[in-house]
Amino acid sequence: MTDLHRLSIRELTEGLASANFSSRELTEHYLKRIAKIDTQVKSYVTVTAEQALDEADAADALRKAGGATALTGVPIAHKDIFCTHGIKTTAGSKILDNFISPYDATVVAKGKTAGLVTLGKVNMDEFAMGSTSESSYFGATANPWALDHVPGGSSGGSAAAVAADLAPFATGTDTGGSIRQPASFCGLTGLKPTYGRVSRFGMIAYASSLDQGGPMARSAEDCAYLMNVMAGHDAKDSTSVEKDVDNYVANLNGTSVKGLRIGIPKQYFNVAGLDADVKARVEESLKKLEEMGATLVEIDLNMTDAYVPTYYLIAPAEASSNLQRFDGVRYGYRCENPVDLMDLYKRSRSEGFGKEVQQRILIGTYALSAGYYDAYYVKAQKVRRLIQQDFLKAFESVDVIAAPAAPTTAYKIGANLSPVEMYLGDIYTIAVNLAGLPAINAPVGFDKDNLPVGLQLIGNYWSESQLLSVVHQYQQATDWHTKRAVIAEENA
């Protein structure tokens, strides 16, 4: 079989179950593709070939013994923010370049329990701060649709690996859009779950009150398979919620698009900087949903102007606190020949952290400092509550809210946007994290340069099944999600 990389997750589970191919064949096939194509895409920071083949053999043996479950033997790539026992976990940073985790993140452990085979760890913006994956210490990753463009970020390696058919699905994390925006830039489906649905244990913290892991894949159906693995309460994460988990695969047809009320926020479609092609493709996708029976309802989200300033206070504030642990003493990079403890701290952090991370630590520390705490941090928290209330009010009259995932398609590598330009690109995603809501990106077409455009659907709390179901039905009626990136086509 030469086209194993073209199979959906369901097809992989069926092929493995009926012994059309083994996990070893499948894993070898993916490892060969990675060796051949990833020199151009640069999505993997670490390829764990030997371990993957051992895991594949174990999966095949389990299947022979009758102990397999659906996903036993299916390969996956993990964002390099999830701790992996015995495998380097870098978070895209020099400061963790030599960090080998002594334990697995809960998401990784759940993947192992489900029988997933880890192909490796994929690239990301340093500590998940960014929208291009260029801030990684390990260099930029290419967008498989146009290699001189970024895949988005921060989960850019996850998106690029899946879009180039170098993994059938991948984990990502989303603090302010890092699953949805790269999914949008790379023509994928990506789900940011409700805050508390997926365990953060062993997921290196950026901004703890916003961080949430989720699946990135080619379709809603593929995402549903991975959500079934990732979701659930975890006693090791006090913010993970004790609430029954849906069977996301079984529920894929559970929500009818007929009669679905889709809110269209007036403010979102008048944002300066919203690209005309993005706007047109998103509107066409909404028209399609309307044809399928949905009702479009214009709504107000009055706090839109407050999203960027609120997020860019709270996220750096939490980051400045979370990143204090990287001090050159306990683990991670340590500077050479420190003269005293202060010198050790200063130089280890100055040499170990990149520019974007340092900038955010400075902003966050400033916002949290004694004289400014009330004026900045406390105020931002109050505005955050208003943003959440704005959404809750909207959900009294609509079932889901539609928006672009990003105002533009993928940027050129090296475009060197100013921080403000880059932060404004997060306008459609960050409020969802501030409110703790779930949201999904689905590919809905291309711009004039053949770069993918994404539609974002935001749901009420715990509506992951509904979001996956709506996108699944859209994907049954359209074929945008079946289009393959240029480099994947060239290496079909």
- The catalytic site residues sit at 79, 154, 178
CB of 490 to ligand GLN, least distance (A): 30
CB of 210 to ligand GLN, least distance (A): 8
Nearer to ligand GLN, 172 or 187 (CB): 172
Nearer to ligand GLN, 206 or 248 (CB): 206
Among 23, 46, 106, 131, binds ligand GLN (CB under 6 A): 131
Binding track, positions 369-408, relative to ligand GLN; x by CB under 6 A: ----------------------------------------
CB of 333 to ligand GLN, least distance (A): 21
Stretch that binds ligand GLN, among 44-52, 172-180, 340-348, 471-479 (CB under 6 A): 172-180
Stretch that binds ligand GLN, among 35-43, 93-101, 169-177, 224-232 (CB under 6 A): 169-177
- Of 17-76, binders to ligand GLN (CB under 6 A) are none
> Cβ–Cβ contacts within 10 Å for residue 414, how many?
10
CB of 491 to ligand GLN, least distance (A): 29
Strand, coil or helix: what is 261?
strand
Question: Is 206 near ligand GLN (CB under 6 A)?
Answer: yes
Half-sphere exposure of 129 (CA within 13 A, CB side): 28
Half-sphere exposure of 333 (CA within 13 A, CB side): 21
Stretch that binds ligand GLN, among 126-134, 252-260, 347-355, 441-449 (CB under 6 A): 126-134
Say which residue the tokens 């509107």 belong to.
283
Nearer to ligand GLN, 54 or 356 (CB): 356
Question: Is 93 near ligand GLN (CB under 6 A)?
Answer: no
Among 15, 75, 111, 130, binds ligand GLN (CB under 6 A): 130
CB of 445 to ligand GLN, least distance (A): 23
∠ CA 99-105-110 to the nearest 5 degrees?
A: 145
Instruction: Report how far Cα 271 is from the mean position of its chain's Cα atoms.
Output: 24
Q: Which of 285, 203, 196 is nearest to 474 (CA)?
A: 285
Among 111, 115, 177, 443, binds ligand GLN (CB under 6 A): 177
For ligand GLN, how many residues bind (rule: CB under 6 A)? Answer: 13
Report the alpha-carbon distance of residue 253 to residue 248 in Å, rounded.
10
- Of 143-162, binders to ligand GLN (CB under 6 A) are 154
- Report whether 469 contacts 223 (CB < 8 A): no
Nearer to ligand GLN, 362 or 492 (CB): 362
Annotate 149-192 with three-state secondary structure.
ECCCCCCHHHHHHHHCCCCCEEEEECCCCCCHHHHHHCCCEEEE
Query: What are the structure tokens assigned to 164, written together?
Result: 């180039």
Stretch that binds ligand GLN, among 4-12, 29-37, 127-135, 381-389 (CB under 6 A): 127-135
Plot region of 149 (φ>0 → left; ψ -120 to 50 → alpha; else → beta): beta
Report the alpha-carbon distance of residue 38 to residue 26 in Å, rounded.
17
Say which residue the tokens 């699905």 belong to.
169
Question: Is 186 near ligand GLN (CB under 6 A)?
Answer: no
Report the alpha-carbon distance of residue 76 to residue 12 in Å, rounded.
12
- Of 411-470, binders to ligand GLN (CB under 6 A) are 426
Q: Which of 316, 324, 325, 323 is nearest to 360 (CA)?
A: 316
Q: Which of 391, 332, 295 is nearest to 91 (CA)?
A: 332
Question: Is 348 near ligand GLN (CB under 6 A)?
Answer: no
Report the alpha-carbon distance of residue 190 to residue 133 in Å, rounded.
17
Residues that bind ligand GLN (CB under 6 A): 128-131, 154, 174-178, 206, 315, 426
